[in-house]
Amino acid sequence: MNNAIHKWNEKYADDTLVFGSTPNGFLVEESKRLPKACDILCVGDGEGRNGVWLAEQGFDILSVDGAENGVKKAIKQARLRKVSERFKGLCVDLLQWDWPENCYDALVCLHLYFMPEDRPRMHRAMLESLKTKGLIILEVFHPDNVGRGCGGPPLRELCYSADDLESDFKNADILFLKETEREIAPSSFHNGGFGKVTRMVAQK
């Protein structure tokens, strides 16, 4: 298990949902672009707050995360919320995964961070996992978020700017790309506040 995954697995160890069960606001806004009842790959889905919400909206979800405790909690949430038939959980390190190709109608990637040497390869794999015209909805913290105390990676190089994403997704049609401030909900690790994020919607 890599170090980042190990830390998340420990954070997910008890019964509390670390990020709660409310889905990410950018995902909720952008979900209107998704075709009805399509297949969606949710990467770094943690305890499933986003994947389970999407299953409730009628989508078929593969929720992938490296932290076993997170995947177990996501599967349990899907069962409690009665969407198990549309929600599969898979525990895998995405850096080692044999990524599917041309399989999904959409991919959701919310606050999943890779080191600069891995990031372009991971973003390429995400794009390749999509069918033609498939959509990626992605939000991450911007490097300027570091030091604000509202959560997110502590290192600038782990956060992504719009330029980083423009370069990684140069082979996709970028439909939306913005660096912006938004309120960060309090979690088990911080009291919330205003964070700076980078948001993107791209199409294969």
Ligand X SMILES: C[S@@+](CC[C@H](N)C(=O)[O-])C[C@H]1O[C@@H](n2cnc3c(N)ncnc32)[C@H](O)[C@@H]1O
Of 170-199, which residues contact ligand X (CB under 6 A)?
none
200 touching ligand X, by CB under 6 A: no
93 touching ligand X, by CB under 6 A: yes
Q: Least distance in Å: CB of 17 to ligand X?
A: 9
Nearer to ligand X, 43 or 172 (CB): 43
Q: Which residue has the tokens 């707050």?
A: 49
Question: Helices then strands (H, E): number in the chain?
Answer: 6, 7
Instruction: Tell me how far apart the alpha carbons of residues 24 and 1 are, in angstroms, rounded to a whole number.
Output: 27
Choices 54-62, 87-95, 126-134, 141-149; region in contact with ligand X by CB under 6 A: 87-95
68 touching ligand X, by CB under 6 A: no
Of 152-171, which residues contact ligand X (CB under 6 A)?
none
Instruction: Tell me how far apart the alpha carbons of residues 177 and 199 are, in angstroms, rounded to a whole number.
Output: 6
Please tell me whether residue 5 adopts helix, strand or coil conformation. helix
Q: Least distance in Å: CB of 197 to ligand X?
A: 12
Instruction: Tell me how far apart the alpha carbons of residues 69 and 90 are, in angstroms, rounded to a whole number.
Output: 11
What is the distance, to the nearest Å, from the Cα of residue 125 to the centroid of all Cα atoms in its chain? 14
Taking CB under 6 A as the criterion, the residue among 110, 130, 140, 200 binding ligand X is: 110
Q: Count other Cβ atoms within 10 Å, centred on residue 32.
A: 6
61 touching ligand X, by CB under 6 A: no
71 touching ligand X, by CB under 6 A: no
What is the distance, to the nearest Å, from the Cα of residue 123 to the centroid of all Cα atoms in its chain? 12
Pairing state between β 39-43 and 60-65: parallel
Please report, for residues 110, 120, 127, the alpha-carbon distance to residue 146 in angstroms, rounded to integers and kept in the order given.
17, 21, 27
Choices 79-87, 89-97, 156-164, 196-204; region in contact with ligand X by CB under 6 A: 89-97
CA angle 50, 52, 56 (to 5 degrees): 115
Taking CB under 6 A as the criterion, the residue among 52, 54, 59, 65 binding ligand X is: 65
Q: Least distance in Å: CB of 127 to ligand X?
A: 17
30 touching ligand X, by CB under 6 A: no
Please give the residue ranges that form the binding site for ligand X (CB under 6 A): 2, 4-5, 8, 19, 24, 44-46, 49-50, 65-67, 70, 93-95, 110-112
